[in-house]
């Protein structure tokens, strides 16, 4: 039994690091299913759409899809409970999350997800980082951005969204100079840009360049560490970039402690 637990922990090592990101995105995707919220927010109308009322009607008549999303989300949560223990479901998915845009919080993210759901579009997540994010020493499919894709893909598919994740991390390369050619490196269709250079980078100028070029792509920006300079930069970028931080370190520590208890038992 102990050898089985060890095997399970080894197999799910990549999931340990990304679980908090999964829970956060899962919560946002479920929020898109709230039609009262949907009717209260505004959208930038897509060029090929005739009216916002058409989008509303599309959501109103998609009851089966909504049920399917809830079922897929429930299956994912069940898998989390199997891998990390039943107490995982009791962990607040917003703990360790910092939104810099005041009461708006995840509004831009929810709007983007909702638009993709109603129009049947892709939702593109691009992760920039260094060797730990690139997953050097493992298969590319075992890096945490790709584990995120594997875990969340079925939930997004149930919501009529094709989730696409691009792991653009490179070992030994900070956010600059890639940031200044973000359109060419990441793609101009990106919805969510993730900064994960926390292993070595603490440079405010590089951090701002990363945010600025993501904004030029109309992308939402997530940092994986609450760098001290973000508070100052938030005055300029919090609203336009939906600037936020997800630091899963406390959760991972708790999960490891619970896993160690399981091994002892």
C-alpha to C-alpha distance for 257 and 191, rounded to whole angstroms? 35
Q: Average pLDDT for residues 190-219, to the nearest whole number?
A: 95
pTM: 0.77
Q: Looking at residue 62, what is its pLDDT?
A: 53
Q: Looking at residue 37, what is its pLDDT?
A: 44
The average confidence (pLDDT) of the chain is 78
Q: Could you tell me if 159 and 93 are in contact, meaning their C-beta atoms sit under 8 angstroms apart? A: no
- Using CA atoms in the order 114, 144, 27, 250, what is the torsion angle rounded to 10 degrees? -150
Q: Which long-range contacts (CB under 8 A, 24 or more apart) does 154-157 make?
A: 154/72, 154/75, 154/76, 155/26, 155/29, 155/69, 155/72, 155/73, 155/76, 156/29, 156/123, 157/72
Residue 10: alpha-carbon gap to chain centroid: 23
- Residue linked to tokens 């999960």: 255
- pLDDT tens digits for range 56-106: 444 444 557 778 888 888 888 888 777 766 555 555 566 678 899 888 888
């Amino acid at each position: 039994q102990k050898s089985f637990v060890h095997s399970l922990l080894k197999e799910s090592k990549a999931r340990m690091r990304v679980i908090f990101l999964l829970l956060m995105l899962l919560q946002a995707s479920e929020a898109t299913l709230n039609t009262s919220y949907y009717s209260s927010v505004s959208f930038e109308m897509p060029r090929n759409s005739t009216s916002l009322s058409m989008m509303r009607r599309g959501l109103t008549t998609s009851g089966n899809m909504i049920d399917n999303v809830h079922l897929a989300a429930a299956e994912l949560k069940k898998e989390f409970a199997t891998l990390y223990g039943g107490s995982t479901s009791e962990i607040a998915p917003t703990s360790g999350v910092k939104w810099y845009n005041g009461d708006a919080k995840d509004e831009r993210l929810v709007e983007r997800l909702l638009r993709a759901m109603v129009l049947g579009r892709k939702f593109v997540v691009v992760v920039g980082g260094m060797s730990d994010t690139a997953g050097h020493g493992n298969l590319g499919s075992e890096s945490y951005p790709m584990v995120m894709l594997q875990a969340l893909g079925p939930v997004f598919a149930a919501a009529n969204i094709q989730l696409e994740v691009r792991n653009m991390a490179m070992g030994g390369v900070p956010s600059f100079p890639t940031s200044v050619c973000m359109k060419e490196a990441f793609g101009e269709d990106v919805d969510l840009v993730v900064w994960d250079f926390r292993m070595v980078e603490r440079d405010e100028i590089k951090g701002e360049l990363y945010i600025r070029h993501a904004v030029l792509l109309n992308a939402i920006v997530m940092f994986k560490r609450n760098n001290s300079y973000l508070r100052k930069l938030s005055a300029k970028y919090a609203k336009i970039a939906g600037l936020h931080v997800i630091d899963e370190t406390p959760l991972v520590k708790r999960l490891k402690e619970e896993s160690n208890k399981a091994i002892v038992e």
